[in-house]
Structure 1
C-alpha cells in the first residue's frame, strides 16, 4: 500500500505543472559567487515563448544553492518558481536598489482560473541580510526605492515556506492584488515586513513569523477584506526607519510598530501573538476593522519618555473599529498593558474598545484627556 501511495504522490507532482524546468540547464551555478541573472532571464524568455504563449503552466525549479542576481526575476501568471528547501535554495540580490522577484500584472480571468502562481521553498536575501546588528540606524539613501524582496501584482498567488530578509523598503509588497495566500513564511529584517497597498483584497497571511522589521505589516491604499490570522508578530524595531520620539507618536512610518492600518477598511486581525513593539496596532483614517482574540505582551521600553508601550493608537477619522477579546500581559507592574493613545483630531465615534476589567479606569482617563475628539461610548465591560 505504501508503495502505491508514493507512486501516486510522484505522479501527482509530475502533472501539477505542464513542465518542470531546472534553472541549471540555463547555466545557473548557484555557487554564491557567479552572477546568475542571465540564466534566469534566458529561462523566462524561453518558457514564455514555448509554453506561456500556449497558455501552459510551468514550474521553474531551483535546486539547492545560492544564486546571485543583479536584476529582478520577472514572471508572468503561467510561471511558478520553487526551490528544493527554504533554507538551502537561496536567491540573493546584490544591488541595493532592486527587487528579487516581480509577478507581472495580470487580471485576465481566462488565465487566472487555470491556476495559481506558486512561490515556494525559497529564501530571498537582500543586500542588508549580512548586517549583524539589525537594530542600529541604517543609512538608507533616498533614491533606493525598489529594494523589496517580492513584488506581487495580479490575481491568485500562493507563497509558501518562503523566507525574505534584508531589503530596505519592503520584504513583500502586495500591490493591487487579489487572492494572495502567504503561509509558513518568515519575513525578517526589512523596512516594512509586508506591505498591502493600492486596493489589495483577500490577502490571507497565516502561520507565519514577522520579526525584526521596522514595521511588521502595513495595510494602506484603501485595501480591504484582508486576513492576518495565526501569526507571530514580534520585535519589529529594525533601524531602517527612525523611531518617533514625540509624545503623540503621530508618524506612522516609524519603527517599532507591529501593524499599521492606514486608509483601509474591513480588515481582520485575529489569533496572533504580539510582543515588543512601541505601538502594537495603529489605525488612521480607517473604519470597520476587527482586531480580536490576539495576545499582546507589552513592556516599558519606548523611544520617547512615556516609558510605556502603546497597545492601540487611533488617529485621523477612524470610526467603527472593534478591539475586543484580546489578552494583554505586562512585563512589569508599573507598565499599563492597556494603554490607548488618541490623536487630537477628527472623529473616533462608534469604536468598540474592550481592554478588560483591569484597564477600564486607565482607559477612561486616557479618553478624557482627549477633549477635542468625538470618541463616543467605547465598550467598557462592567
Structure 2
C-alpha cells in the first residue's frame, strides 16, 4: 500500500468507544454529547464497525449516527511488506460503504480471531475448548489454512505483480513463524498452571504468584505499570528469571517489522491482555465467549485510539488500563471519562 502524500490537518480527532455511540441511540433527546464534538473530528475504526455488526438490528441506527456526526474512518497504515506501522490513514468514506466492505471480509476476520485468541480464552477458563495440547495442534493447522486461503485469493487477482506476490509470500512465512513461536510460549506458560481438577488457570496463576485485583487496583499513579511490575518481579514465576518490564508485558515476544520496529498498537494490545490476566481492573467472566469478545474489542479500541487526540469512554476498566498503558508507552492520546448518571451525561 502506498502512503498518501498529504497529512491530516483538520480538527483534533475524537475516538468514541462503543458505549458512547450506544448512549446516543438510547437517549436521542439529549444532544449534550454531540455538542462536545463540535470542535473535534469524530473518527471510527473497523473495530467500531465490528461492534456495530454485533448490535443485531441497530446497525443502520449506528451508521446513521456516524454520518450525522460527520465521522471519518481511519485505519493503521500497512506498508508494501504487509506490515503494520505507527501511522494511520484517515478518510471521509461513507460509514455504510465501510461497513459493507467489512462485512465482506468478516469470514476471514472471524477465522483469524478464533485462531489467535483460543489460547487466551482457555487460560481465562473457557471449558468448551479442548485440552491445551489439542488446542495447540488445532490452532497451528487452522492458522496455516487461513494464510494459505489469503495467499490463494491474492494470487488470483490480476493487480499483483510477481514482486508483490513474493513480498506477500514472505509476509505469510514470517506470520506463520510468529504464530508458532507465540503458541509455543503460551502453551508452555499455561501448562505451569493447569490442574487435574480443571480449575481456572487464571485463578491458579494469581494464587501462585500471590497478588491479584485487591492489591493491584489500589496502585496509584504516576508510573502505574512500573509500580505493578515492581510488585511482581520478586514473586514466584518471575523472580530469578531475568525478566524485564517488556518481558512482563509480552512486548519482547512481539516480532519486530523488517525495519526493527514494533508497532505501538501491537504493544498496547499485548500490555492490555497482560493487565487483564494479572487482575488490574480486569474484565469479569472472560471464560464466557461474549465477555471475552467484548474485552478483546476494548483492547483493540485502546490500540486504535492511540492514533487520535482523545478517546471518550464510560468503561472504567478500559479507561484505567488504557491510561496506564498510554503513560508507560508515552502515547499522547488523552482518555476522557464520560459518566452517565440518571440517564444524563455529566
TM range (shorter): under 0.3
TM-score by length of 2: 0.26
If asked which structure has higher relative contact order (CA below 8 Å, sep 6+), I would say 2
TM-score by length of 1: 0.25
Higher helix share: 2
